[in-house]
């Protein structure tokens, strides 16, 4: 069988080699391979290209790279092995949603057996393209799938031929970590774009659990453009004990402005992704993309074995699948010291810098 692996931009040698090795990784743990007379064609679409080998460490904390590896590994363990009875058509939209729609339409016209859509905007275009065709869609790294119109509800059964895994991290666990690192937080500031459905859902989740973790007040500042991020940060001065940045694309795009205000005014600021900590937030507890990709792969295998996507509930990342990253240097610049005890049994994945920097 001719194997096809397509990328819009070159430079993904590490990913291609790693994926090619997955059948070997599956080893004896794999289930009996599904009948070879049927070769399943799976369209995979991400919003940006996978990184070059030098960026692999960063990529393991970003949607797409780690997810694909885990998706393919778990599929192989379930008997769906690339190069034997599975062909992956892996493409990237390179940040262009017009390209994304074209690729999604291509998957449908080629009548793939299943689509794996990574991130919210990609899932939206894939679900729209596949609607009424009988092609199931399994998404991953979608924060608020129901609010984004990707599924009608998280529960099952439902009429949608769609299911998947959300990358929203347990919000209570995130807030608990902030309190462990900085117990004095009573008023928490948040900066987000109110037009981003994913962000609104996260803010509502904080409101639901804030009293349980000892946060008395949530101070909201919104921004609709990157240029407004700094203004939103300045507006929090003197009103909050700490700042939390959800997985909001607008706030994230202007994160350096927030960090500047936070350092100058000694306002401890926490993020929700590895990248935010690398850029200057004190800590973040976030979804493990290996877990997300693996769960999505399990869902895909169940569907290819005969289950309906609508009969499989959407899940989010549980506490045990969260990863924690800390930046002691950022904490010092914002006027606090991270207590080592804050990380006891909290799955500390990485320290940016070193303690005491």
Where are the strands (E) in the chain, listed by range?
A: 40-46, 86-92, 114-118, 137-140, 162-169, 187-192, 217-222, 242-244, 269-270, 283-287, 315-317, 322-326, 348-351
Instruction: Report the C-alpha gap between 100 and 211 in whole angstroms.
Output: 41
Specify the pTM.
Answer: 0.73
Q: Which domains are present in the chain?
A: 13-168+287-320 (3.40.50.2300), 171-285+321-351 (3.40.50.2300)
Instruction: Report the C-alpha gap between 60 and 14 in whole angstroms.
Output: 12
Residue 315 CB-half CA count within 13 A: 16
Cα angle 164, 168, 172; round to 5: 135
Digit-by-digit pLDDT tens for the chain (357 residues) are: 333 433 333 333 333 334 344 444 444 444 555 556 799 999 999 887 654 444 445 545 555 678 899 999 999 999 999 999 999 999 998 878 899 999 999 999 999 999 999 988 899 999 999 999 999 999 998 888 998 899 999 999 999 999 999 988 889 989 999 999 999 999 999 999 998 888 999 999 999 999 999 999 999 999 999 899 999 999 999 999 999 999 888 898 899 999 999 999 999 999 998 889 989 999 998 888 889 999 999 999 999 999 999 999 999 888 778 888 899 999 999 999 988 776 665 555 546 554 433
């Amino acid at each position: 069988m001719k194997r096809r692996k397509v990328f819009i931009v070159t430079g993904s040698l590490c990913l291609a080699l790693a994926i090619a090795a997955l059948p070997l990784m599956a080893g004896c743990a794999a289930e009996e391979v599904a009948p070879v007379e049927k070769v399943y064609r799976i369209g995979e679409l991400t919003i940006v290209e996978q990184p070059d080998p030098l960026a692999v460490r960063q990529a393991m904390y970003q949607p797409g790279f780690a997810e694909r590896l885990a998706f393919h590994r778990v599929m192989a363990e379930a008997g769906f092995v690339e190069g034997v009875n599975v062909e992956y058509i892996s493409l990237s939209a390179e940040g262009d949603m017009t390209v994304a729609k074209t690729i999604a339409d291509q998957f449908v016209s080629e009548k793939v057996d299943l689509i794996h859509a990574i991130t919210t905007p990609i899932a939206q275009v894939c679900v729209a393209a596949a609607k009424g065709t009988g092609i199931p869609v399994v998404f991953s790294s979608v924060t608020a799938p129901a609010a984004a119109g990707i599924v009608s509800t998280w529960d099952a059964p439902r009429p949608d031929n769609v299911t998947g895994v959300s990358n929203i991290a347990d919000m209570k666990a995130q807030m608990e970590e902030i309190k462990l690192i900085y117990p004095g937080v009573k008023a928490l500031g948040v900066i987000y774009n109110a037009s981003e459905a994913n962000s609104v859902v996260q803010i509502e989740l904080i409101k639901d659990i804030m009293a349980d973790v000892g946060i008395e007040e949530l101070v909201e500042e919104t921004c609709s453009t990157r240029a407004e991020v700094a203004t939103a940060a300045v507006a929090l001065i003197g009103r909050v004990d700490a700042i939390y940045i959800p997985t909001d694309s607008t706030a994230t795009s202007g994160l350096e402005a927030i960090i500047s205000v936070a350092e100058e005014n000694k306002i401890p600021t926490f993020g929700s992704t590895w990248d935010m900590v690398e850029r200057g937030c004190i800590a973040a507890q976030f979804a493990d993309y290996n877990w997300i990709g693996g769960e999505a792969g399990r869902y895909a295998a169940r569907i290819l074995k005969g289950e309906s996507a609508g009969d499989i509930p959407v899940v989010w990342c549980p506490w045990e699948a969260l990863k924690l990253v800390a930046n002691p240097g950022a904490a010092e610049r914002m006027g606090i010291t991270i207590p080592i005890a804050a990380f006891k049994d909290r799955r500390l994945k990485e320290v940016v810098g070193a303690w005491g920097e």
